Structure 1
Amino acid sequence: MTRAGRFLKDNGISVTFGAAFLVSLFGQALAGQAVYNDELRSVGAGPLAFGDYLTTSHFAVDVTENWQSEYLQFFLFLFATVRLVQRGSPESKELHKVGVESAEDQRMGEHARADSPRWASVGGIGQALYSRSLGIVMLLAFIGSWYAQSVAGAAAYGEERLRELQAPAPWADYVLTADFWSRTLQNWQSELLAVGSMAISAVYLRQRGSPESKPVGAAHTATGVEG
């Protein structure tokens, strides 16, 4: 197998989903440009070129409002599943492992192995941060995308108000508006529904060969077991 072939095989998930993301983002941009230009024509303004549309608040707010809800989902799931369990779900760890678990179970400190990351074997704040690094990155990504959404949303909302000959609202006022929270909460509720329904459905349903599912023959009560 060639080096390129080996790379694609070893990184199939990230490559496939990365490519699908770019295709979807491009499609969203094309559709968004068409919608935005229709809005411009309705008020007698000229249409924007594709490159110009990509720099608008209209495009930015539509993208970032979805990003922040996705990162919120991962952040909440990572931290919640430290102490919350779901009997029979492969999305949950085993019932007796509630909590941060012992250093031995987590292969930390003196229990680190030869192939363990370096930060797993050191102590102090470095190890404490590394042991929570995935959740921290998801939290920072959520905060960053939420802020970007609020800024872009404020700009888009201000643009709409100017078209109606009204003064645009400052950012601090916009984040208290129904427009902002309607955009935000419609994404949050869909992500929370998806996570919850996946955790429950995986108790009784199977997907052969997927690590997100239990083995086909596993008991419904088997918890934290991957296929």
Structure 2
Amino acid sequence: MSVNPKKHSFFYRNGLSIVFLSLFMVTLVAQAYSGWKQHNQELQDHQAQEIGLGTYLQSGHFISATFENFESEFLQMALYVLLTVGLRQIGSAESKSLDEKEEVDRAPVTGKDAPWPVRKGGWVLKIYSNSLSIVFFLLFFISWGLHLYGSWQDHNVEQVLKHEPKDTVLQFLAQPTFWFETFQNWQSEFLSVCSIVFLTIYLRQKGSPESKPVDAPHLETGK
């Protein structure tokens, strides 16, 4: 199908990305500012010197809080993309059909408008065919590593404030703090995915691609 993007405005063509990216930036700035204030309050409580916003943005407190959330989101999306290849949920708008092959299952066909990896073929096409889940998992592992680094650094700041020795990263991993932060985020993401998979069986939102048509039977699977 040919696409003529010039017939629509830039915002109309990219509105979903623009709105969510804007919301992300606004809330990230709000998180940074409020986290800075909170962290300085904690430093005051321990009679320690406050830090500037620029220093805070490089601190373990900010890095840990930021990538703790990124990590769980990327894990959620990676598993969702991968598991929906083979698993089904009868009646869900988020599931492929129980019996029929769908458009996403067909073998890629080369053509002048096909992406370069499709025209290239071979191992390049193999990687491209799984690139969405690969990138989400890569982003997850990077975020997990930065969450660990930030949480460890923040933990050692607390150790210094309490006049206790710093811990190595292995000593920190043996403690429950990091794992508590990790699992409380993971479980919330798994619950949110389960919610949209199940609720789209019975509930509708007219006009949304995440919903079945309003008049679709409950046990009709997919969109």
TM-score between the two structures when normalised by the length of structure 2: 0.91
Paired residue secondary structure (1:59): helix
The CA deviation string for residues 64-103 of structure 1, in whole angstroms up to 9 with x for no partner, is 00000000000011111111110111111111258xx89x
- Aligned pairs for 1:6-85 (under 5 A) are 6-85=9-88
Per-residue deviation at 1:113?
4.6
d(CA) in 1 for partners of 2:100, 2:173 = 40
After TM superposition, the structure 1 stretch with the greater mean CA deviation from structure 2, 38-47 or 128-137, is 38-47
More relative contact order, 1 or 2 (CA 8 Å, 6+ apart):
2
Q: Tell me the residue number matched to 1:95.
A: 98
Does the aligned pair in 2 maintain the 1:71–1:141 contact within 8 Å? Answer: yes
Paired residue secondary structure (1:11): helix
Does the aligned pair in 1 maintain the 2:48–2:161 contact within 8 Å? Answer: no
Does the aligned pair in 2 maintain the 1:150–1:180 contact within 8 Å? Answer: yes
Per-residue deviation at 1:123?
3.0
After TM superposition, the structure 1 stretch with the greater mean CA deviation from structure 2, 118-127 or 55-64, is 118-127
Per-residue deviation at 1:105?
4.2
One-letter amino acid of the structure 2 residue matched with residue 223 of structure 1: T
Aligned length: 217
Matched, 1:191 2:189: yes
Q: Tell me the residue number matched to 2:106.
A: 106
d(CA) in 2 for partners of 1:48, 1:165 = 19
Cα-Cα RMSD: 1.9
Paired residue secondary structure (1:52): helix
Matched, 1:204 2:202: yes
One-letter amino acid of the structure 2 residue matched with residue 195 of structure 1: V
Matched, 1:128 2:126: yes
Per-residue deviation at 1:34?
1.2
d(CA) in 2 for partners of 1:185, 1:105 = 33
Between the aligned residues of both structures, percent identity stands at 38
d(CA) in 2 for partners of 1:47, 1:138 = 37
